[in-house]
Amino acid sequence: MAAGSDLHEPGLALHIEDLTVRYGATVALWDIDLDIPPGRLVAIVGPNGSGKSTLLKAVVGLLRPVAGHVRIFGQPISRARSRVAYVHQRAEVDWDFPATVLEVVTMGLYRRIGWLRPVRKTHRRAAMEALAEVGMEAFAERQIGQLSGGQQQRVFIARALIQQADLVLLDEPMAGVDAVSEDIILSLLRNLRDRGKSVVVVHHDLSTVRRRFDWMALLNRRLIAQGEMHDVYTPANLKAAYGGQMAVFADTDAEETAPSERVGGQL
């Protein structure tokens, strides 16, 4: 096959075209076009039920769209899988099954070493190094289900590190975690970005999104807006995405936000 014959927008971390996803009669995503440049810390933002989780699942191939396609660094997911790490929304993962933190991190190597190969000392060492990077090495032998939400997210970030993923997708990693963990998670994600990785995060909190992320896609089943944060974080766009739910956001970063910019300030 000619090299790159199915390459499509190889310069983009993520290229999504005409994507429509349904659950039975429910249209969760409608005709989404989205182009995410590489090396950015990207927020996917929208109200509850706006299709954010569905979008990530369609990107990693967990859901089959009724129309459209996705390219990751120019390739379909079937050929880009090893370059992509995905962390579920927490509520969706049942951690009742027994797995230690070290085992969870080592899973990040399975695409390279193969599922049936024994985990060697070098693999274990690599996993410990990744855990040290996220400050979780003391928890290596704990059951993953026993950790707090924030600690679990750090372990999943360690798994993405060891996988050497170029595109890391996380679904609400900061939901329900304490402020200290939130800061740690954010600095780990920034660190990934600073190493040239592309990081795409579903983020639930409009009051913090502007300061924390470089780039944003606003979603409400349709794509409302996409681009650099300062271009997209506008009253008109937020209103278009959130409509009547506007009261949920007031940017807490007061000194940076001119009163006229305060979306929802009248509410």
Ligand X SMILES: Nc1ncnc2c1ncn2[C@@H]1O[C@H](COP(=O)(O)OP(=O)(O)O)[C@@H](O)[C@H]1O
Q: What are the residues binding Mg ion (CB under 5 A)?
A: 52-53, 89
Binding ligand X (rule: CB under 6 A), the pick from 1, 23, 116, 259 is 23
Residue 194 CB, nearest approach to ligand X (Å) = 27
- Per-residue DSSP letter, 171: E
The H or E element that residue 142 is part of is none
43 to 72: interface string for ligand X, x by CB under 6 A = ---x-xxxxxxx------------------
Applying CB under 6 A, the site for ligand X has a residue count of 11
Q: Looking at the chain, which runs of residues are DSSP E strands?
A: 14-23, 26-36, 41-45, 67-72, 84-87, 167-171, 198-202, 215-220, 222-228
Q: Report which residue type is found at 70.
A: V
Closest to 151 (Cα-Cα) out of 131, 168, 166 = 131
Provide, rounded to whole angstroms, the least separation between the CB of residue 199 and ligand X.
18
Q: In what order do the strands lie in the sheet with 67-72?
A: 26-36, 14-23, 67-72
- 50 is in the binding site of which of Mg ion, ligand X, none (Cβ under 5 to 8 A by kind)? ligand X
> Is residue 28 near ligand X by the rule CB under 6 A?
yes
The candidate with the shortest Cα–Cα distance to 156, out of 108, 198, 194, 204, is 108
CB of 174 to Mg ion, least distance (A): 13
CA angle 76, 89, 132 (to 5 degrees): 90
220 touches which of Mg ion, ligand X, none (CB within 5 to 8 A by kind)? Answer: none
Nearest residue (CB) to ligand X, 5 versus 48: 48
From candidates 6, 10, 26, 228, binder to ligand X by CB under 6 A = 26
Identify which of residues 59 and 127 has a Cβ nearer to ligand X in the complex. Answer: 59
Q: Would you say 83 or 204 has its CB closer to Mg ion?
A: 204
10 lines the binding site for ligand X (CB under 6 A): no
CA distance 199 to 186: 11
Residues that bind ligand X (CB under 6 A): 23, 26, 28, 46, 48-54
